[in-house]
Structure 1
Amino acid sequence: MLRSVLFRLFVVAVAFCAGAAQPASAQGGEPRLALVIGNAQYADPLATAANDAGLVAETLRGAGFDVVGAANLDQDSLRRAFRDFLEKATEAGPNAIVFVYLAGRGLQYEGENYIAPIDAVIAREADIPLQALRLSDFTRALAGLPLRARIIVVDAARANQFAPGGHLAGGFALVDAEPGSLYAFNAAPGTIAPDEPGPYGAYAQALSELLRQGGVPVEVVFSQVRLRVNEITKGAVTPWDASNITPPLVLLEGAPNAAAAQDYAALQSRPVGSFPASEAYAAALERDTLEGYQEFLIAYPHDPLARRVRALLAARREALTWRRTIEANTPDAYWSYLRRYPKGPHIYDARRRLSLISAPLEPSPRFELYDFGGLPPPPQPEYEIIDRPAIMFDRDDYPPPPPPPVYFLPPPPREFVDLPPPPAPSGPGFLPIPIPVPLPFGRHEGPQGRFNQPNFGQQGPVGPGGGAQGAPAQGAPQGAPQGAPGQGISPQGRPGQGAGQPGQPVPARPLPGRAAPVPAAPGQPTPQGHPAAPLNARPQGPNGAPVGAPTPAPPPAAAPVAAPGHALPQGQSLPPVPPAARPPGAPATPPAPAAPIHPAPGAAPPHPAAPGALAPKAPTPAAPALVRPETPHPVAPPPQPQPQHQAPQPRPQPQPQRPQIQPQRLAPPPAPQQPQIQRPQPPQAPQHQAPPQPPRPQAPPQRPQAPPPQAQKPQPQQRPAPGKPGEEQNHP
């Protein structure tokens, strides 16, 4: 008997645990996506927009949302952010919950609401559709997706800074929520919120506080946000929302409290007139309906708060009248609005819409008045409120309202009474993220939230991977040198130029501001695996001698190769470096005429401008500058034959330069110098005698005038060999 009882208890416990685990699995099956944007850097910047977006983003991350955040988006970046988020929401599935928060500057035009990017230039009303983004294009695309719920919050109803002197209505236009959607504005339709000094705006602060509650439906959360913002701003701002989400959506699970839910439902069903005057104001504000405001005015017509309630009612009546006018979109509807509100905020919008449908601005004698869905016309006291340029509730003639009663809204938690400012953002285009505030009661049963700040263009040019070009890659240490996308950092710091590219000029020195690479000793491998040599050495031929050298006698150790990072294949020539391609301050080749370089089979002949490029007027502090004053032109022939056969013998600079530690700053070895000096001599050979180098006739016809000026610069060793072929034959 006892065993059967225990078994039944065990079965009941297992069933209870399974039932308790079911909501958690349902929560885990609801993907949560959020897009949070804060635009602050306008021509007239906002102090709180970026901070507000960061605060809301961190709150949503704690509620299990996969948050995509960005700051200060221009028009292209904002469009890219909307497009990417729509693609992400499309892939989320029918159980996904989408939350969008936009902070910045917004405006309405012809019944449509717009969000302005930071680069918007709106000089007149007609520029709004071109310079700003229409919110309905984005919200309708979201409404067309099979999602569990869509929550769109726009914290941008502020004083209009665009189209000065233009005829624009203030704030946002009233909109209807599609099934499964909730829309919320930081200020009621047709009203504006004043700019705040910071660090956070009242709306974002209240939203972040009340979203952290557990077990509260989202429509109740936004009703409480309205009460909190009205309390913080002393009645200057009254937020608005419209919800059409069924069944009720709860973002954070909490301990079931049926008694509290019943009490709140009872408060909403009570007539507004049954509350005391101070509490009746909170009851009417929490409901935020025409009927609720009218009930307050009927119950307390002479209360000091009646003037404020009458202004709220007047603004809502006019906004609703204009909304139904736009929905009808007929000449009779626009004429009826102009007759009902001859000085209303939307008279210019009505005239523009009449012109758009090709209707006359003045009504016809027999037009039929539109009834606006049964909405009665405003009483006379409301006109003095509506006829103002902008509807704001921070005037002196509106007394501040009392705080809401505790049973409507408890006091704010200590953490949100005085929020510290967030740390500075990590860079341009990033949102400042505040220190997370732990959730006191609510909890999310699904996966943990994330917060990403991709680059939509606001952080710099978009690279191949979607990040900013030049930004450190993920996982790379901060401050590490960054090369071009997809390429490493070349030794000379020139992105896109790899090592060992045949036909590329070999710079003698790195670019300015780069560390000079230290070449290895002859025969030692460089970082690229090629033997190093002096930076101004020439490539060698198959026999180990420099290309174009008349004698194959140079020692094997003296065979020059290309500079580190620019090694060339054996037997190929290195084209001369033109002056324009040489980095500033880089040492040029010795200012002496050189023998023509024979290209390898299939290679292009040297450029005719090469001698000028290889012989600049300003000699470098190398061997040519020291040898040049030693001997004149006629004395040069006797000592020259010996250096040609015995390359290591010329003592001035060739021999000591080869083993020196800093070859890039010293004169090149003798073997490279001789071919470089012999280049301009072939032009003389066809004029006087055929030199022993007839196989290379390309250079002679190209440089017939080069010998006279170049003969003054070369060393005494360089001039005789090609210049006096008779002597060269005596020293074979």
Structure 2
Amino acid sequence: MIRTWLLLCCGLFLVWSGDAAAKRVALVIGNSNYGQSSSLANPVNDAQLIAGAAKRAGFDEVVTALDLDVQAFQRALRDFRQKANGADVAMVYYAGHGIEGQGKNWLIPVDAELKASLDLPYEAIDLDRVMESLNGAQIRMVVLDACRNNPFARSWRSGTRSLTRGLIGVEADDVLVIYAAAPGQTAADGDGINSPFAQSLAKRLPQPDLPVQLLGGTVRDDVLSATGGTQRPFVSASITGTPVYLVPRTQLAGIEQTPVSAGQQQRQSQGPQTADREALSWQGAMSANTIPAYQAYLADFPEGQFAALARENISSLGAKPTAQAAMRGSEKGNGLAKAGLPYRDMVAPGKPMAIDGVWTISTLNKRLKIEKGRAYALDGWIHAQFWQIVSNMVVHRDIKRIGTGRYVGRDLSLNVKSRFNLLPDGNIKVRLSTFPFATHFVLLKESLDQSAAMDSELALLAAEK
């Protein structure tokens, strides 16, 4: 009898486990038709666009809620909390009016009157309540296309602690928060049927082999490019460093892709797990920074993403080290492996260029210096979650001018071709030829080595337009 009961319990456990399989759920909200304030043309359209993208990204259940009053908003969050509990991934997307007041962020239902800031707790939705609706999920995501002007501020008594523009940044543990605009800034509703932010998110959410940890930065680059740098999305992330893929490449079928090398095809067919293993192998090789370590990496991944860089490092280690290189080898890091990149003094300079100077990387808010055909880090940063790029490490080399405002080079951290296109405002749009989708970001001008040369280059660029 006991044996029978044990078998029955095991069977019930297996059935329960199958029902409790990992799932992905999303709540997508769009508020357009406000009764007591300015209506917005696109949030309902944006919500429908994002809902479709979430389904393509593999979300098992997508709840779309449009034009919610305060009671319906509260009810939607309460119901979603039950769905999110135990989920693998849970996401809330909101498009509509969102404001800061009393030191908090508030999402605005369509029936809100908000004659004073003191009405916020009664007529608006505290962002903290949205965060709470995600409790119980392993990966929690909040996406806010809500950083538009405060339509109620004019009627509020002066002296109240409120902002008329945008939302404020928040720090939340174990949550990825993506804002359509940086704190204190506003987001465009868009000239078409969708906002620039929603268009990018809908494109990137179902993108294959894109970890959610990189989703916000990729969207930020798209929006910066689409708005000419006037709108800068903001990302607050404190989630696991282990890559989480919504759509691995192995799930794609019947989609035409760019021809790739045999090594890239092998890595594609093996899927993200092998890519992660390769990254860990490369991390170990860089941590040891020895010829045998790089040779071991090449033995496992002869056509790997970092194979060319591994061979360069083997060649460099085979040469007699300089005094500076020896000193660098004794530097103590912060527990992360230093990237196996050459330092400034190890790369021969080229010819001076108009773009020589100090630039800030839009996606990292870190500075680099372009100098005579090479670009090296001024500030350190963490690259791809695995290794550390430190000051004076060269991240681009062989940069050369190929036309008015156009330059090409090679990104050493990813071992891909890089293109630099000068923009009319004096900033630089960068395109990295990563597979399967190119990577885009903007270099923001800080200072120039030759201002006159840049002025001439911009004049030539304007004349060609």
TM range (shorter): 0.5 to 0.7
Q: Distance in 2 between matches of 1:172 and 1:64?
A: 30
- The residue number in structure 2 matching 1:88 is 83
Change (3 A) 1:129 1:277: farther
- The answer as to 2:170 corresponding to 1:172 is no
Unpaired runs of 5+ residues, structure 1, are 1-24, 301-397, 413-732
Q: Structure 2: how far apart are the matches of 1:219 and 1:61?
A: 19
Q: Give the Cα–Cα distance (whole angstroms) in 2 for the partners of residues 148 and 261 of structure 1.
A: 31
- Separation (CA, whole Å) in 2 of partners of 1:284 and 1:214: 25
* Distance in 1 of aligned mates of 2:343 and 2:39: 44
Contact 1:278 1:402 in 2 (8 A): no
Shift of 1:138: 2.5
Matches within 5 A, 1:578-597: none
What is the number of equivalent residue pairs in this alignment? 275
Q: 1:267 to 1:406 in 2, by over 3 A?
A: farther
Work out whether 1:99 is the aligned partner of 2:91.
yes
Please, which of 429, 454, 465 is the counterpart of residue 403 of structure 1?
A: 429
Higher strand share: 2
1:402 Cα shift? 3.8
2:230 is matched with: 236
Equivalent in 108, 111, 125 of residue 100 of structure 2 = 108
Shift of 1:271: 10
Is contact 2:433–2:439 with CA below 8 Å preserved after alignment? no
The offset of 1:88, in angstroms, is 1.8
Which residue of structure 2 lines up, in the alignment, with residue 187 of structure 1?
181
Deviation at 1:249, TM superposition (A): 1.2
Amino acid at match of 1:108: E
8 Å CA contact retained: 1:123, 1:164: no
Please show how residues 626-665 of structure 1 align to structure 2 within 5 Å: none
Cα distance change, pair 160–197 in 1 and its aligned pair in 2 (3 A) = same
Deviations 1:280-305 (A, max 9, x none): 75x621114xxx1xx35xx58xxxxx
Say whether the 8 Å CA contact 1:75–1:131 is kept in structure 2.
yes
Match of 2:65 among 58, 63, 70: 70
The one-letter code of the counterpart of 1:122 is: L
Structure 2 residue aligned with 1:684: none
- Residue 172 (structure 1) shift: 1.2
Q: Distance in 2 between matches of 1:261 and 1:34?
A: 36
Q: Which residue identity lines up with residue 425 of structure 2 in the other structure?
A: P
Alpha-carbon RMSD across the aligned residues, in angstroms, is 3.6
Structure 1 residue 109, shift from structure 2 partner: 1.3
Pairing 1:294-313 to 2, within 5 Å after superposition: 295=367, 299=369
The alignment's TM-score, normalised by the length of structure 1, stands at 0.34
Structure 2 unaligned spans of 5+: 1-16, 250-267, 279-303, 310-336, 371-423, 441-465
Aligned partners of 2:342 and 2:214: how far apart in 1?
A: 16
Of 134, 143, 150, 1:160 maps to 150
Q: Which residue of 2 aligns with 1:224?
A: 218
Identity within the alignment, % = 31
Q: Secondary structure at the match of 2:429?
A: coil
Q: Matches of residues 601-612 of structure 1 in structure 2 within 5 Å?
A: none
Distance 1:410 1:172 in 2: 31
**Counterparts of 1:121 and 1:235, CA distance in 2:** 33
The alpha carbon displacement at 1:85 in A equals 0.4
CA 1:217–1:242 in structure 2 vs 1: closer, same or farther (change >3 Å)? same
Q: What letter corresponds to residue 75 of structure 1 in structure 2?
A: V
Distance 1:217 1:124, change over 3 A: same
The 1:88–1:404 alpha-carbon spacing in structure 2 relative to 1, beyond 3 Å, is: same
Higher Cα Rg, which structure = 1
Q: Give the 3 Å change call, closer, same or farther, for CA 35–29 of structure 1 in structure 2.
A: same
- The code of the aligned residue for 2:66 comes to A
Conserved 8 A contact 1:122-1:163: no
Report the Cα distance in structure 1 between the residues aligned to 2:238 and 2:183, rounded to whole angstroms: 18
Q: Which amino acid aligns with 2:128?
A: S
**Structure-1 separation of matches of 2:343 and 2:113:** 49
Structure with bigger RCO (C-alpha 8 Å, 6+ apart)? 1
1:287 and 2:313 equivalent? no
Give me the whole-angstrom Cα distance separating, in 2, the residues matched to 1:165 and 1:89. 38
Q: CA deviation at 1:221?
A: 1.9
- Given the superposition, is the C-alpha separation of residues 111 and 244 from structure 1 closer, same or farther in structure 2, using an over 3 Å criterion? same
Could you say what secondary structure the match of 1:158 adopts? coil
Compute the displacement of 1:101 (Å). Answer: 0.4
The answer to whether the 8 A contact 2:78-2:133 is kept is no
Q: Which residue of 2 aligns with 1:52?
A: 46
Q: Is the 8 A contact 2:95 2:144 kept in 1?
A: yes
Contact 2:57 2:207 in 1 (8 A): no
Shift in Å at residue 149 of structure 1? Answer: 0.5
SS of residue in 2 equivalent to 1:286: coil
User: Deviation digits for residues 138-162 of structure 1, max 9, x if unmatched?
Assistant: 30352xx332200111110011111
Question: Aligned partners of 1:68, 1:278: CA distance in 2, in Å?
Answer: 50
Instruction: State the partner residue of 1:133.
Output: 125
Structure 2 equivalent of residue 631 of structure 1: none
Q: Deviations over 1:153-209 (max 9, x none)?
A: 111001111131545222111111312x21110001121123322211110111111
Deviation, 1:127, is 2.0
Q: Aligned AA for 2:67?
A: N
Relative to 1, partners in 2 of residues 1:219 and 1:135: Cα closer, same or farther, differing over 3 Å?
same
Q: How does 1:343-492 map to 2 (within 5 A)?
A: 399=425, 401-407=427-433, 410=438
Report the CA distance between 1:220 and its aligned residue.
1.2
Flag the 1:150–1:280 CA change in 2: closer, same or farther, 3 A. Answer: farther
Tell me how far apart the structure 1 counterparts of residues 339 and 198 of structure 2 sit (CA, whole Å): 26
| Structure 2 counterpart of 1:245 | 239
Q: Which residue of 2 aligns with 1:123?
A: 115
Partners of 2:215 and 2:307 in 1: CA distance: 16
Q: Which residue of 2 aligns with 1:38?
A: 30
Partner of 1:198, secondary structure, is coil
- 1:71 & 1:214 partners in 2: Cα distance? 28
TM-score of the aligned structures, taking structure 2 as reference length: 0.53
Per-residue CA deviation, residues 470-495 of structure 1 (Å, 9 max, x unaligned), is xxxxxxxxxxxxxxxxxxxxxxxxxx
